[in-house]
Amino acid sequence: MNSDTFKEFSDQDLLGELRRRGYVLSAWSVEDARSAIENGDEDYDEALVQEMAEALLDRSDRQLEDILGSRGNEALSDMWAMFKDEIVQQATAPKA
């Protein structure tokens, strides 16, 4: 399947469909990468910021997935610790 298959759908439609299927996800765009670069101490012109943002996303594909996977697992553990009692109570309550 190629990326042309999904061009007719908006980003929000695609993300919404994945969430509807039960996925919890985050997605980053060039604009997000631009923000990370622009929030630094350096002052780059617009064209250079755009070029570097695209390069950042190109280079981070695999590493970002590994980082997010690791942090995501930590986040799930933290969430379980926070909501465990409530979830267990709801799951074990008598069903009507």
The whole-number pLDDT of residue 61 equals 67
User: What's residue 62's pLDDT?
Assistant: 66
Its pTM stands at 0.53
The predicted pLDDT at position 17 comes to 92
CA–CA gap between residue 28 and residue 33 (Å, rounded) = 7
CA 89, 92, 96: angle at the middle one, nearest 5? 110
**pLDDT score for 51:** 93
Instruction: Indicate the domain borders of the chain.
Output: 3-81
Q: What are the residue ranges in the chain where pLDDT is below 50? A: none
Written as one string, the DSSP assignment of the chain is: --GGGGTTS-HHHHHHHHHHTT-------HHHHHHHHHTSS----HHHHHHHHHHHHHHHHHHHHHHHHHHHHHHHHHHHHHHHHHHHHHHHSPP-
